[in-house]
Structure 1
Amino acid sequence: MAAQVGPVNNEQEGLLAYLAQMRYVVRLTAYGLTDEQLRATPSASELSVGGIVKHCASTEEGWLSTIRREPQSVDYQKYAENFRLAEDETIEDVLARYDRVAEQTEKTVNEIGDLGFPIEIDHSVPWNRKDLTHWNIRWILLHLIQETARHAGHADIIRESVDGATAYPLMAAAEGWPTTPWLKPWAQSPLRGLMRSQPAQRMTR
């Protein structure tokens, strides 16, 4: 995928394209990392690059179930686990899951074909608005773009803390861009398995 979304012919196409772009930049933060680095938590929070990618997949999966009106239950333990890679879980597992979710999101939205299609709001959770009765698919896609972009920023900061890599050099490496006077593609360091830095003290919650 290129660094920018291509031409957009209609609203639905645009929303799906920008959501796909945000998924892509989240995935790029994991590019070239070791298993140790994917699980590293070098910032003040307990977030890791691998955990953020997993959370984004889980979040979209949840909203897809909402669109499909599938029954869901809020499991706070499971929610917390979705921010961490399990010991027997690999980034390949998580990315494959994210691919499946993305495919089903696009398939479901295209099959419904109506961005105004109403989706009943679950008022059993505290973060959903009590003054409204329904979302629609347009709102859900915009919300997913917002959520994914927000976590892409989190993942960018964590990735830079792990090994100094930033978004465009990573994209250049993944897509095979040539080196230019103003941009050098990221390259693996001989010290690839080592963390760049660790915080002196983790903040408590």
Structure 2
Amino acid sequence: MTTTEQINSGQTTLTGEHADLLEALGKHRFFLRHTVQGLTDEQAALTPTASELCLGGLIKHVTRAEKGWYDFMISGPEAHSGQDFEGHVTSFRMLPGETLAGLLADYEAVAARTDELLTSGADLNQSQPLPEAPWFPPNTRWSFRRVLTHVIAETAQHAGHADIIRETIDGQKSMG
């Protein structure tokens, strides 16, 4: 989709950069969700490659990451306070009692919030200071645009991981 094409979202018609960002994010979300289609909870929790990643965990992690960055856009760096390393590690795993359907429903809810922000015509130049962390340069701000491109990149990266894991589980390829 080009910047001159439009995305219709309910009663809002998006054009330009907002439409492009929403389309790019939507495409990578689709690939990630498509990769887990038809799997059981047990299959979604498998870690069949050399990594510790599982498909349900990837859905859970991308949900957590997108929610965290959405909260950052709305509330600033305070949104990242209280996030612990164990929570980050656990976000890559399906825990007992979690289901693929539940993880996908959570992902849809978070995606809807992000989409609503984009369709509202939010100012993409608006920025927030990044929280203090060793991986961020001091006194750095990220615009909504930069946050959204980060979320798109992270979603795309994990969709690729998911494709490899799914192919290892049962030979199914989401992109081939």
Number of the residue aligned with 1:23 = 29
Number of the residue aligned with 2:150 = 143
How far apart, in 2, do the equivalents of 1:93 and 1:34 lie? 12
| Residue 129 of structure 1 pairs with residue 137 of structure 2 | yes
- Give TM-score scaled by structure 1 length: 0.74
| Residue 101 of structure 1 pairs with residue 110 of structure 2 | yes
Give the Å deviation of 1:156: 0.5
- Give TM-score scaled by structure 2 length: 0.86
Task: Summarize the alignment of residues 112-191 of structure 1 with structure 2, pairs less than 5 Å apart.
Answer: 113-123=122-132, 125-130=133-138, 132-168=139-175
Counterpart contact for 1:109–1:137, Cα < 8 Å: no
Question: Higher helix share goes to which structure?
Answer: 2
> What is the aligned counterpart of 2:60 among 54, 59, 68?
54
> Which amino acid in 2 is paired with 1:98?
Y
Structure 2 counterpart SS, 1:68: helix
Number of the residue aligned with 2:47 = 41
| Residue 65 of structure 1 pairs with residue 71 of structure 2 | yes
Structure 2 counterpart SS, 1:126: coil
> Which amino acid in 2 is paired with 1:97?
D
Q: Matched residue pairs, number?
A: 163
Larger radius of gyration: 1
Give the Å deviation of 1:29: 1.2
Structure 1 residues 104 and 31: CA distance shift in structure 2, 3 A? same
Q: What's the CA shift string for 1:20-67, capped at 9, x where partnerless?
A: 111111111111112221111111110011111111111101101100
Q: Which moved more, 1:108-117 or 1:8-17?
A: 108-117
Structure 2's unaligned 5+ residue stretches are 7-14
| Residue 11 of structure 1 pairs with residue 20 of structure 2 | no
Structure 2 counterpart SS, 1:96: helix
Counterpart contact for 1:16–1:141, Cα < 8 Å: no
Structure 1's unaligned 5+ residue stretches are 170-205
Structure 2 counterpart SS, 1:56: helix
> Which amino acid in 2 is paired with 1:81?
T
> Which amino acid in 2 is paired with 1:42?
P
Identity of counterpart residues, as a percentage?
38
Structure 2 counterpart SS, 1:167: coil
Give the Å deviation of 1:112: 5.7
Structure 2 counterpart SS, 1:102: helix
Q: Which moved more, 1:135-144 or 1:107-116?
A: 107-116
How far apart, in 2, do the equivalents of 1:138 and 1:35 lie? 35
Number of the residue aligned with 1:87 = 96
